[in-house]
Structure 1
Amino acid sequence: MKNYFLKSAMVLLIICGVLSCSAEDKSSASTKELVAETPVDDINKFQAYTQKYTEDTVLTQNHAIGHIGDLFFTHWKDGGTTSLSMQIDGNFNVSWQGGGYNYVGGPGWHFGDINRVIGYNFTEDSGANFITVYGWGYDKNMSVKNPAHLVEYYILQRWSDAYEPSKNGLFGKTFMSNGVEYSTYRTLREEKPSINNTSTFYQYWSKPNQPLSLGEDREIIFADHVKAWADSGWILPDMNNFDASDDPTYQVMAVEVFNPPEDGTASGRVWDATPH
């Protein structure tokens, strides 16, 4: 439910602003270097996605995207004070202060892959609204009048009582994946900010029976969730394209907070667990 109202200025901010980081950014990371990377899949509209942090870094600005180590990351907020600390090996930490704003960020990949297995271990969570696999699918050839042309999806692992994602949602089915029982839901967002301007689109949810515990290595088999959604007729559009106006169709392990009542932090590690 990320607000993209200010996304029109984001790319300019990343290209022109992040390369000359503020004194606050420089002081908050012991080593940080940003260099240009060979464009991935000929990305033309989103040159910021080709940038690569080659050292551990701390991000405090409102918007930042790029790659660090083998992972892509997104870091976005519409106000407040939140930082994303990223390490080359996939370890990361999100720290936030209480206030009236929305934040979402974390490491992952600049595209979704139905065959991907997402490995993660969260060691700390002091009240994030969502710890979740988060991403988008988009089909530019489908009518914008069909909400299925654009899909925002969540595979929840942990969530707070402040928001119940299944409320007012259409129930799909219950299924097992890698030892966890999930229930699926579909919700509708009408004329809301998205990766493709203000749009009407669907949200697909997979939600465990209860929040999963911290401190364990876990693997999310993405294909199981795509199949479960499809079993109810909820088809994900293309997850590997750069057709949308504001963002590619990325897939990350995200920490999301909105209107946090108090300070908090969440820490973990993400890796690609796909069998090869």
Structure 2
Amino acid sequence: MKNIFQKTTILLTVCGLASCAAEQDDAETMNDAAAAPAVSNIDKFEAYTQRFSETTEITQHHATGHVGDFFFTHWKDGGAASLTLSPEGDFSVSWEGGGYNYVGGPGWHYGDEDRVIGYRFDEDSGASYITLYGWGYDETMSTSDPAHLVEYYVLQRWTYDPSQNAEYGTTFVSDGIEYSTYRSVREEKPSINAPSTFYQYWSKPAEQRPLGEDQKIIFADHVQAWAESGWIIPDMNNFDASDDPTYQVMAVEVFNPPEDGTASGQVWDGR
């Protein structure tokens, strides 16, 4: 992808998985237009959820916020990775090789079953996953039931096959693309609600989606396919988790990347 970003480095508050540190390092650069008020209606996360009006580069270990109207999440447990996002939805993720996990990208601070996601990836030099990614959470369910918390993926490109050691669900067609569904369990792993035991739902296309072309994900088709196997997503518009809202983003994920890499593209509302 051509370098369309005029990068403005913004110092975001650094957050841990279970709590947000209020301490802030000295700012290298603070843009006058960057420090807008916290996003309304999610005051619980105002310590590290901010709104930026210009293209922003995020480098911290855990940060969320909005650039223009697009929400972003940016999380890593080590290593070096950065997310650059414009108010128009253009974004780029860059990472260095190493032994760590990173996931981040732009989208919305809540999931919507009826959302249609438009996107295009122009560059992918080896991400573990290029995916629609999000969470559902029901705080009224027992935490001993993995269904109380669901991490979901609608894969588009990948270098690691998540169907390994996962339960097969069904095969279906959405927007002319054949997908197969899988479910796996994560036991006491990082989540939007501290280390927890939870389900992962996967939709995996028969073929990886190409670069350089506009694509569309009809999320309702995936929710229906999962439900046909009895796999229900809990509340996707929930602010009761301890660490993050139940966001829905077009994400880049890398884990233990063997070398440096970049993925870049654009996301938009596809309806």
User: TM-score surpassing 0.5?
Assistant: yes
* Structure 2 match to 1:140: 139
TM-score norm. by structure 1 comes to: 0.88
* Structure 1 match to 2:36: 36
Secondary structure in structure 2 of the residue aligned to 1:12:
coil
Where in structure 1 do 4 or more consecutive aligned residues deviate above 2 Å?
31-41
* Structure 2 match to 1:69: 68
Distance across 1 between alignment mates of 2:63 and 2:98: 20
Q: How does 1:1-276 map to 2 (within 5 A)?
A: 6-9=16-19, 11-12=20-21, 16-17=23-24, 21=27, 23=28, 26=29, 33-37=33-37, 39-41=39-41, 43-48=42-47, 50-160=49-159, 163-274=160-271
CA deviation profile, 1:154-193 (whole Å, cap 9, x unmatched):
0000000xx2200111100000001110000000111222
Question: CA RMSD for the aligned pairs?
Answer: 1.8
Secondary structure in structure 1 of the residue aligned to 2:140:
coil
Distance across 1 between alignment mates of 2:185 and 2:18: 24
Secondary structure in structure 2 of the residue aligned to 1:226:
helix
Q: CA deviation at 1:35?
A: 2.3
Distance across 2 between alignment mates of 1:164 and 1:156: 10
Distance across 2 between alignment mates of 1:203 and 1:262: 27
TM-score norm. by structure 2 comes to: 0.90
Instruction: Tell me, yes or no, if the aligned pair for 1:36 and 1:50 is still in contact at 8 Å.
Output: no
Q: CA deviation at 1:6?
A: 3.2
Instruction: Tell me, yes or no, if the aligned pair for 1:91 and 1:269 is still in contact at 8 Å.
Output: yes
Distance across 1 between alignment mates of 2:18 and 2:187: 20
Q: What is the percentage of aligned positions where both structures have the same residue?
A: 65
Secondary structure in structure 2 of the residue aligned to 1:224:
helix
Q: Which amino acid counterpart does residue 208 of structure 1 have in structure 2?
A: P
* 1:208/1:64 CA distance change after superposition, 3 Å: same
Q: Which amino acid counterpart does residue 133 of structure 1 have in structure 2?
A: L
Secondary structure in structure 2 of the residue aligned to 1:249:
coil
CA deviation profile, 1:116-158 (whole Å, cap 9, x unmatched):
0011000000000000011000001111121111100000000
Q: CA deviation at 1:59?
A: 1.5
* 1:76/1:33 CA distance change after superposition, 3 Å: farther
Instruction: Tell me, yes or no, if the aligned pair for 2:54 and 2:67 is still in contact at 8 Å.
Output: yes
Distance across 1 between alignment mates of 2:110 and 2:47: 15
CA deviation profile, 1:215-260 (whole Å, cap 9, x unmatched):
1111100000000000000000000010111111000000000111
Q: Which runs of 5+ in 1 are unaligned?
A: none
CA deviation profile, 1:43-82 (whole Å, cap 9, x unmatched):
2321146511111121222222100011000111111111
Q: Which amino acid counterpart does residue 244 of structure 1 have in structure 2?
A: A
Q: Which runs of 5+ in 2 are unaligned?
A: 1-14
